[in-house]
Amino acid sequence: MQDPSPLPSRGDHAGASDAIRMQILATEHWSLLATRSMTWNEMFSRAGMFITTLSAAVVALALVAQATDFGDNFRVFALFILPIVLLLGIGTFIRLGDAREEDVTLVAGMNRLRHAYLEMAPELAPYFVTSHHDDMAGIMQTYGDRPEIRPSRILASTPALVGIIDGVLAGFLAALVAVALGASLMMYVTTGIVATLCSIAVIATVPFRDIARVRREYRARFPG
């Protein structure tokens, strides 16, 4: 009669438990990574759709202008199509900002998972380039940036570029309305420039306000 198999030791149980934890953490890490990829793909798709629509509208305006010699029919057509493009641009800007905020949350989650990895294997800390802390400094380190958020990084982002285009569209629409009301050349040029600058100024407050809100409401679990 064979001897029964020996019961697993306490160390075997601990090793199995660590393996299960590592598998769960890795699964969650891949899930967050896939969600980030979907979020970025949506951002690029929304921005591309807006630019494509804007380009098509410009081509249509050029064809109508050539056919009507920039007459009343051209202004009517422009006042009909450009508000639609501007509405799409504003919606794109808002969605890009929301997606960016979602991406920050996902990065914070991935940093927490790295913190769990290092709790189980602290000797691997020198090999991590990204952060294992979920505070703002750790999140920015994972993005490959300084702890502070630079204005140049915001200005060069896709939401900022879309917002600038929205501001120019708003200024062009304001100038068209001024022309339709019989304004002089100097008046409608001034109206367009002022409307553009005011629109960009209003749009520019949105990302800074969102950043301030996130910093105020966010609570890190594993700060550096």
What DSSP letter does each residue of 65-100 carry, written as one string? Answer: HHHHTT-HHHHHHHHHHHHHHHHHHHHHHHHHHHHH
The 10s digit of each residue's pLDDT in 159-175 is 889 999 999 999 999 99
Q: Which residues of the chain have pLDDT under 50?
A: 1-5, 7-10
Model pLDDT, residue 148 = 60
Model pLDDT, residue 2 = 47
The candidate with the shortest Cα–Cα distance to 112, out of 139, 87, 85, 86, is: 139
For the chain, how many structural domains are there in total? 1
Model pLDDT, residue 125 = 87
Model pLDDT, residue 15 = 58
Q: Which domain holds residue 174?
A: 12-217
Is 174 a domain residue? Answer: yes
Model pLDDT, residue 49 = 94
Model pLDDT, residue 9 = 47
Is 3 a domain residue? Answer: no
